[in-house]
A = this chain, B = another copy of it.
Amino acid sequence: MTYNDIFQQIIKKMSFLCIGLDTAIDKIPVHLKNTEDPVFEFNKQIVDATHQFAVAYKPNTAFYESCGSKGWASLEKTSKYIKENYPELFLIADAKRGDIGNTSQMYAKAFFETMPFDAITLSPYMGRDSILPFLRYEGKWVIILALTSNASSVDFQVIQEKESKEYIFEKTLKYGQLWGTNDQIMFVAGATQAYKFQLIRKIAPEYFLLVPGIGAQGGDLNEVAEYGMNEHCGLLVNASRSVLYASEGTDFAQKAAEEAEKLQLEMKTILLRDLKKHFSRASLKNQNKTKE
């Protein structure tokens, strides 16, 4: 998938919503518990009900691993189901891996060959060896943790370097751009850090940002868009719990769709309002093409 493919989907759906499939076995509605694979069944129904409002899905590997090999099978089935039925969706493995070169190759094989993910989140602590092996796959993406949404992101990410006075997350943004193009690399930037988005955009104006942290974690969508949007939108904003667990009953998928639609409508308002401000003539032209 290319940068432009993702942008076209955003324009077509008037949405930059990513739905995080943090599917916890103990939060699945009771009536699904007797199906063969409750986690997959839950995911399938969520995706079927919400796909018109979202451009990306992001299963979080931890939730699947907590169920053992059965959980890993649910992850495989989920990823295959999404890519077979909705190939236009951008499918992210929220795995936050990061290792030496020969191990990174194995992770790339796991997520890009054995499973059909378009992208994987990676931690930069071990440097480029953790990133480059994934970039050998054409059309695949890595999403590097830069400034994350959690409270203890301050422990390391905002340490300032001696000479340059740059924050660690700035170094991440700069290295990332040396390692790959904006057709290969995105960065994670937490919605709870929206006040730093101006700085992030100054350093990496053309790259997509994957933005977790709205909803349960307290980030604000309008603030994220205000400071983080670029002329090709450049944002994938994630919601997980607020969508997945909108209802505990048999209507869970319908309620999830309502929550997703609410977010999509907010995003549409933002996109239409900010088109003038952020979008280049080129992108407006693309938008008109799509409407025809």
CB–CB A124/B125 < 8 A: yes
CB–CB A157/B97 < 8 A: no
CB–CB B110/A149 < 8 A: no
Chain B residues within an 8 Å CB radius of A76 = 68-69
CB–CB B168/A152 < 8 A: no
- Whether a CB of chain B sits under 8 angstroms from the CB of A161 is yes
Report the minimum CB–CB distance from A106 to chain B (whole Å).
4
- Whether a CB of chain B sits under 8 angstroms from the CB of A199 is no
CB–CB B107/A66 < 8 A: yes
CB–CB B149/A100 < 8 A: yes
Neighbour of A129 across the interface among B67, B125, B150, B161, CB < 8 A: B150
Chain B residues within an 8 Å CB radius of A68 = 72, 76, 110, 114-115
CA distance A150 to B153 in the complex (A): 24
CA distance A163 to B152 in the complex (A): 20
Interface residues on A, range: 35 or more
Q: In the complex this chain forms, how many copies of it are found?
A: 2
Chain B residues within an 8 Å CB radius of A159 = 159, 161-162, 168, 171
Query: Do A62 and B126 form a contact, CB below 8 Å, given A114-B67, A165-B162?
Result: no
- Whether a CB of chain B sits under 8 angstroms from the CB of A98 is yes
- Whether a CB of chain B sits under 8 angstroms from the CB of A96 is yes
CB–CB B161/A124 < 8 A: no
CA distance A24 to B110 in the complex (A): 12
CA distance A101 to B160 in the complex (A): 24
Chain B residues within an 8 Å CB radius of A65 = 72, 106-107, 110-111, 114
- Whether a CB of chain B sits under 8 angstroms from the CB of A22 is yes
CA distance A127 to B104 in the complex (A): 22
- Whether a CB of chain B sits under 8 angstroms from the CB of A128 is yes
CB–CB B66/A69 < 8 A: no
User: What would be 12 A-B contacts, judged by CB atoms less than 8 Å apart?
Assistant: A62-B106, A65-B110, A66-B110, A67-B114, A96-B126, A100-B217, A124-B155, A126-B148, A126-B155, A129-B150, A129-B151, A160-B163
Q: Which 5 pairs show the lowest CB-CB distances between chains A and B?
A: A127-B152, A127-B155, A62-B106, A65-B110, A69-B73
| Chain A contacts to B: CB under 8 angstroms | 22, 24, 60, 62-63, 65-73, 75-76, 96-104, 106-107, 109-111, 113-115, 123-130, 145, 148-157, 159-163, 165, 168, 171-172, 175, 217
